[in-house]
């Protein structure tokens, strides 16, 4: 009989030889400790086979050990079948060890008693032993046949299990091969699913969904950004990046209003890039590419008048329509002292133009103004309000004014009619004077000799284009503010415009609005804007008002205009 301690001392090849001799199933695939327990299980189930393999056992101990084994072998099959023994190998091993210990003790006692008995008893014990051996052989053969059957059943079930597993593996490999063929991934999956990206967030593509619009501002390096009007065309988080190749492809310039498709920025990008250009200044990109530059367009006198005396008209706009008419392409200046109502006059003009000429693109540019006036203008004027309040720095005033002017030029190049209402050109000239590098030539009032060139260029951009398109600029200029600089700026701009409207402080002090000095206000070549009959009537009216002072003239006009519905009715009533 093998003991667990002896088996553990043996090497794996020796254990495999023993297992081969006692017919242990699948002994080559078992580890050493599992093979030891398997040998003990087979030994407990079939001790005769173990005795046959272990031929070097002592003969004196064999008969002594046979008796208790006979009892064990006869009692154990009755209590538990052999199939159940194979399920609990550890409890079976403990029973086998107990049986061995009991058999050893009994064999020692039997040996002592056998030494004291006489030869007659020895003969009878030999006969009994022979009969017991025969009985043991018969029972061992039965047990062997039973164990062989159980081994065959277990081997059959294991074979079925192996065949099932092989079929499952074959099916899995076939499925994995098919999946690899579909996905095009034929490298190194080994039939296993890659679960690394199982909990990864899905990738969403937002490219080509959103369209956005902005005014192009080109940098010195060649690329540009589409600035948002919500931030007065200054740098903002809404800026859209435009590449240098796109600028060259479409012939874009600073101030172009571009509508296009954008996408969200990728990793490492700061801005939303423009991926497709849909419209440029409201036109197709193919048309805009061949446009003529603003500097090469032919300027003419204004010939088409803005009808600001019709819908949403006021006394101010009706007086202006008669004495200082505004045409498309007019370069007008409203000269006023402080607190004469120039901002309210600009508001009335803006609303009248928006109501009667919806085809005109109108921009109100407020430079160095009070924030509350900016809010009031945004809420009460139908037009784009671009402002830079007095709490901003001078270079921001200049930047806002430049991009508004460039936007207006690009629109005019595409044939649009644009109106810019500037309040005020005096403060814009002050801002240009602040940011202008010192040239060494200073005029009276602290104005640099070169500082007024850029505001003159701004004001001089107003013109009527020969074959369509016009840029109208109506700017306010401050006088009698007590500042020598304002006087110098006004003197520089005096005579550059082709329309001048004078506001009088004496009239506003009498609380007569609009405080317009009628005799001093006029438009150059107004005969191109009025009809011949209207021009003759206005000459008669001017002669009549020339004998009055400005206050009396404005009071007279205000009373007569209030009693008539429109200017035509007023001019007809002059005969009476």
pLDDT tens column, 89-117: 444 555 555 555 555 555 555 545 544 54
Euclidean distance between CA atoms 280 and 214, whole angstroms: 10
Report pLDDT for 248: 94
| Domain total of the chain | 3
- Whether residue 322 sits in one domain with residue 274: no
Sorting pLDDT into bands at 50, 70 and 90, what band is 20?
Answer: confident
For residues 93 and 34, the answer to whether their CB atoms sit within 8 Å is: no
Longest pairwise C-alpha distance within the chain = 178
Report pLDDT for 501: 95
* Higher-pLDDT residue of 385, 117: 385
Q: Is pLDDT of 181 > 60?
A: no
Task: Indicate whether 228 belongs to any domain.
Answer: yes
Q: Last residue of some domain: 290, 325, 341?
A: 290
Report pLDDT for 449: 83
Dihedral sign from CA coordinates of 137, 138, 139, 144: positive
What six digits make up the tokens of 244? 């240098």
- Whether residue 250 sits in one domain with residue 366: no
* Higher-pLDDT residue of 335, 165: 335
For residues 247 and 222, the answer to whether their CB atoms sit within 8 Å is: yes
Euclidean distance between CA atoms 406 and 344, whole angstroms: 26
For residues 461 and 473, the answer to whether their CB atoms sit within 8 Å is: yes
* Residue 62 to residues 103, 108, 379, Cα–Cα distance (Å): 10, 12, 118
* Higher-pLDDT residue of 206, 24: 24
Measured in residues, the chain has a length of 576
Task: Indicate whether 190 belongs to any domain.
Answer: no
Task: Indicate whether 175 belongs to any domain.
Answer: no
Q: Last residue of some domain: 290, 314, 341?
A: 290
Q: Which residue has the tokens 């423009």?
A: 274
Euclidean distance between CA atoms 69 and 347, whole angstroms: 122
- Whether residue 381 sits in one domain with residue 234: no
- Whether residue 226 sits in one domain with residue 307: no
Q: Which residues pair with 361 in a beta bridge?
A: 418
Which CATH number belongs to the domain containing residue 417 in this structure?
Answer: 3.40.50.300
- Whether residue 422 sits in one domain with residue 395: yes
pLDDT (mean) for 181-200: 53
Euclidean distance between CA atoms 216 and 247, whole angstroms: 10
Share of the chain above pLDDT 90, in %: 51
Share of the chain above pLDDT 70, in %: 73
> For 493-528, what is each residue's pLDDT tens digit?
988 999 999 999 999 999 998 999 999 999 999 999
Report pLDDT for 155: 52
Which of 108-112, 339-343, 471-475, 508-512 has the lowest average pLDDT?
Answer: 108-112
Reduced to 3 DSSP states, what percent helix, strand and coil does the chain have, rounded to the nearest 5?
Answer: 50, 15, 35
Sorting pLDDT into bands at 50, 70 and 90, what band is 186?
Answer: very low
Which CATH number belongs to the domain containing residue 259 in this structure?
Answer: 2.40.50.140
Which of 319, 287, 256 lies closest to 503 in space, CA to CA?
319
Report pLDDT for 83: 41
- Whether residue 314 sits in one domain with residue 254: no
* Higher-pLDDT residue of 300, 64: 300
Euclidean distance between CA atoms 425 and 131, whole angstroms: 138
Q: Is pLDDT of 70 > 50?
A: no
Which of 534, 25, 489, 547 lies closest to 309 in space, CA to CA?
534
Sorting pLDDT into bands at 50, 70 and 90, what band is 444?
Answer: confident
Report pLDDT for 37: 85
* Dihedral angle of Cα 515, 518, 519, 523, to the nearest 10 degrees: 120
Task: Indicate whether 69 belongs to any domain.
Answer: no
Which of 175-189, 355-369, 385-399 has the lowest average pLDDT?
Answer: 175-189
What six digits make up the tokens of 110? 């039997």
- Whether residue 413 sits in one domain with residue 542: yes
DSSP helix/strand/coil, 524: coil
- Whether residue 304 sits in one domain with residue 272: no
For residues 335 and 490, the answer to whether their CB atoms sit within 8 Å is: yes
- Whether residue 512 sits in one domain with residue 426: yes
Q: Last residue of some domain: 49, 67, 86?
A: 49
pLDDT (mean) for 481-503: 91
Task: Indicate whether 536 belongs to any domain.
Answer: yes
Task: Indicate whether 117 belongs to any domain.
Answer: no
Identify the domain containing residue 38 by its residue range.
Answer: 4-49
What six digits make up the tokens of 89? 């190998």
pLDDT (mean) for 130-141: 54
Euclidean distance between CA atoms 334 and 521, whole angstroms: 9
- Whether residue 458 sits in one domain with residue 359: yes
- Whether residue 428 sits in one domain with residue 330: yes
- Whether residue 310 sits in one domain with residue 267: no
Report pLDDT for 197: 59
Task: Indicate whether 159 belongs to any domain.
Answer: no
Local structure of residue 438 (DSSP, 8 states) = P
Report pLDDT for 443: 81
Task: Indicate whether 538 belongs to any domain.
Answer: yes
* Higher-pLDDT residue of 240, 208: 240
- Which ranges in 269-393 belong to alpha helices (H)? 285-288, 315-323, 342-356, 371-380
Which of 247, 257, 249, 260 lies closest to 220 in space, CA to CA?
247
């Amino acid at each position: 009989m093998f003991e667990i301690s002896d088996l553990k001392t043996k090497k794996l090849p020796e254990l495999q030889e023993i297992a081969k001799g006692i017919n242990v199933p699948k002994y080559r695939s078992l580890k050493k400790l599992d093979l030891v327990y398997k040998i003990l299980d087979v030994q407990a189930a079939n001790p005769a086979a173990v005795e046959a393999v272990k031929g070097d056992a002592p003969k004196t101990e064999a008969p002594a050990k046979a008796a208790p084994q006979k009892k064990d072998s006869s009692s154990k099959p009755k209590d538990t079948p052999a199939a159940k023994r194979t399920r609990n190998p550890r409890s079976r091993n403990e029973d086998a060890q107990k049986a061995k210990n009991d058999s050893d003790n009994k064999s020692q006692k039997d040996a002592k008693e056998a030494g004291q008995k006489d030869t007659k008893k020895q003969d009878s014990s030999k006969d009994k032993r022979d009969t017991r051996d025969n009985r043991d052989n018969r029972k061992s053969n039965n047990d062997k046949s039973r164990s062989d059957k159980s081994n065959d059943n277990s081997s059959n079930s294991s074979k079925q299990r192996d065949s099932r597993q092989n079929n499952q593996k074959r099916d899995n490999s076939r499925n994995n091969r098919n999946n690899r063929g579909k996905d095009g991934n034929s490298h190194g999956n080994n039939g296993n699913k890659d679960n690394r990206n199982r909990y990864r967030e899905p990738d969403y593509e937002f490219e080509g969904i959103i369209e956005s619009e902005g005014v192009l501002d080109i940098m010195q390096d060649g690329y540009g950004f589409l600035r948002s009007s919500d931030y007065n065309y200054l740098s903002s988080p809404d800026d859209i990046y435009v590449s240098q190749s796109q600028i060259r492809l479409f012939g874009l310039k600073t101030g172009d209003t571009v509508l296009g498709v954008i996408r969200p920025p990728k990793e490492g990008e700061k801005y939303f890039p423009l991926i497709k250009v849909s419209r440029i200044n409201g036109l197709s990109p193919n048309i805009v590419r061949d446009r003529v530059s603003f500097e090469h367009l032919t300027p003419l006198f204004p010939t088409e008048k803005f009808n600001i005396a019709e819908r949403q008209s006021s006394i101010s706009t009706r007086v202006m329509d008669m004495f200082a008419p505004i045409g498309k392409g007019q370069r007008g200046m409203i000269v006023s002292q402080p607190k004469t109502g120039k901002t309210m006059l600009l508001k009335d003009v803006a609303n009248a133009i928006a109501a009667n000429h919806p085809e005109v693109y109108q921009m109100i540019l407020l430079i160095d103004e009070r924030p509350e006036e900016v809010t009031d203008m945004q809420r009460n004027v139908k037009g784009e309000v671009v402002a830079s309040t007095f709490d901003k720095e001078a270079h921001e005033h200049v930047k806002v004014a430049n991009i508004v002017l460039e936007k207006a030029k690009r629109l005019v190049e595409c044939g649009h009619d644009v109106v810019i209402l500037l309040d005020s050109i005096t403060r814009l000239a002050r801002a240009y004077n602040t940011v202008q590098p010192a040239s060494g030539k200073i005029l009276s009032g602290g104005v640099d000799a070169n500082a007024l060139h850029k505001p003159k260029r701004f004001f001089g951009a107003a013109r009527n284009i020969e074959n369509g398109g016009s840029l109208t600029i109506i700017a306010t200029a401050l006088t009698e503010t007590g500042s020598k600089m304002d006087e110098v700026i006004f003197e520089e701009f005096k005579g550059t415009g082709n329309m001048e409207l004078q506001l009088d402080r004496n009239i506003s002090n009498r609380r007569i609005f609009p405080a317009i000095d009628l005799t001093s206000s006029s438009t150059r070549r107004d005969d191109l804007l009025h009809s011949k009959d209207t021009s003759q009537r206005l000459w008669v009216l001017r002669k009549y008002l020339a004998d009055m002072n400005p206050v009396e003239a404005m009071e007279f006009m205000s009373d007569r205009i209030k009693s008539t519905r429109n200017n035509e009715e007023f001019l007809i009533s002059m005969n009476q």
